[in-house]
Structure 1
Amino acid sequence: MKNIAIIPARGGSKRLPDKNILLLNGIPMIAYSIMYAQQNPEIIDAIFVSTDDEKIKEIAIKYGAKVIDRPTAISGDFEPTVSALKHCLEVINDKKIENVILLQPTNPLRPENLLKEAFDIYQNKSCDSLFTVTRNQHKFGKIINDKFVPFNYEIGQRSQDLEPIYFENGLLYISKTAAVLKETIITKNAFPFEVNHPFSTVDIDTQEDFDYAEYLLKKSKK
């Protein structure tokens, strides 16, 4: 194995219970990331789901992924994702693995050619990692002493004249194995791959997020 995909999926979810296995247009949410990885066999050699939940485990196996049982010690609400990735690599223990592709189950919708385009850039750039970002078009500010203080613009400035500012959208991460083993996903020389697509705004954590994802999915199929 040279490149592996890891999908970290805990069982606990407070704001949207069992969100990783909710049926999104009739398919368990976690299955979307598994199927996306399966659509890229020329890049991904194996697909692993890291979980502490039996229902997630059953669904992952049903859809063709291998499962790594995640210890309770690294399954808490505040545990960083990289802990699960590092644990997977230690369990697999294959020194031939060069790259880890992180697919978050809470980002079930991805542009079809995203991985192919991103991986091509990743291979041709002198970087240890790549992650996807999206340009923001909003006017941000802070509230200080009950007053609104613009952050990325000046009062009266047109939105189209804003200095470009971006957010990490969570669609895709690619990292060198060595970086993950050092508990890093986004390295200092990480390449920010820009994705401006409706799917880049979907990161499911609430019922409203889920409903919006379902709407976009049905709309895209039309």
Structure 2
Amino acid sequence: MKKLVAVIPVREGSQRVKSKNIRPFAGKSLLEHKLEIIKQLPVDDIVINTDSEEAIRIAQREGISFHRREPYFASSKCSNSEFHHYLAKVTEAENLLIAQVTAPLIMQESYNRAINTFYKVNCDSLMSVKVLKEFIWYNNKPLNYSIENTPNSQDLPEYLVPTFGLVIVERASMLKTRSYIGKNPHFYKVTQVEAIDIDTELDFEFAEFMFQKKFENTL
């Protein structure tokens, strides 16, 4: 069984941003940009898991393996837990690197550091996270501070928010927990820029702007 396989999930349908994975983004599709990065990583194989015929054509053109996703697992009826279990079930590997195309600003250096970290620390999964230090309210009450003793923002507790953009996980853990995050996770902090995820049209436009700004000398 291969030690580390990079899996790139590409769903054809998108409820908020039509065809976001394969539509033009800074000169190429999000999928093509992601492939450029993943091809440079120390992985044993790359598999595009998709129900998109266009993504399959890109895979064939680039000489990349693909798995044709079953319709249910590409539908909105499929829960994340079901999909994560399915992804592990159909991918033959000891460990999976899940590379989301909707996180186009994660740098190659971050992937390399994450891979090295995964093998060095005692964990069954590595998840990219962003730091949240803000005043949070729920049901008309503050959650993370006392209103009678409001602290400075820098003194608020530090919360870690999974971004799901960069994931490395043992296949056995995914099969057991049905999740990208295992029982013994390591949370890998990324910058606010790398944490950008495309979920809306505004996200798409902003991510493209930041991508072009970051790579303006190489595009």
Do both proteins adopt the same fold according to a TM-score greater than 0.5, normalized to the shorter chain? yes
Give CA-to-partner distance per residue, 1:14-52, whole Å, 9 cap, x none: 111111111110110122222221121xx2111101111
Counterpart among 137, 143, 168 of residue 141 in structure 1: 137
Change (3 A) 1:154 1:32: farther
**In structure 1, what is the equivalent of residue 84 of structure 2?**
82
Give 2:146's aligned residue.
154
2:52 aligned partner, one-letter code? D
In the other structure, the counterpart of 2:211 is 217
- Structure 2: give runs of 5+ residues left out of the alignment: none
TM-score normalised over the length of structure 2: 0.88
Equivalent residue, structure 1, for 2:123:
127
Matched, 1:69 2:71: no
User: Which stretches in structure 1 are left out of the alignment for 5+ residues?
Assistant: none
User: How far 1:165 sits from its partner (Å)?
Assistant: 0.8
- Which residue identity lines up with residue 106 of structure 1 in the other structure? T
- Indicate how the Cα distance of structure 1 residues 28 and 63 shifts in structure 2: closer, same or farther if over 3 A, else same: farther
- What TM-score comes out, normalization by structure 1 length? 0.87
Could you say which residue in structure 2 is the equivalent of 1:2?
Answer: 3
Distance 1:140 1:56 in 2: 40
Distance 1:214 1:187 in 2: 32
Aligned to 1:181: 175
Kindly report structure 1 stretches of 4+ aligned residues shifted beyond 6 Å.
none
Partner amino acid, structure 2, of 1:58: R
Report the AA paired with residue 119 of structure 1: I
**Contact 2:131 2:158 (8 Å CA) reproduced:** yes
Contact 2:96 2:171 in 1 (8 A): yes
> Percent identical across equivalent pairs?
29
Q: What displacement does 1:87 show?
A: 4.1
Asked whether the 8 Å contact 2:85–2:175 carries over to 1, the reply is: no
- Partner letter of residue 158 of structure 2? P
Q: Give how far 1:120 is off.
A: 1.3
Cα shift at 1:98: 1.6
Per-residue displacement from partner, 1:50-79 (whole Å, max 9, x unpaired)?
A: 111212211233344211101112221142
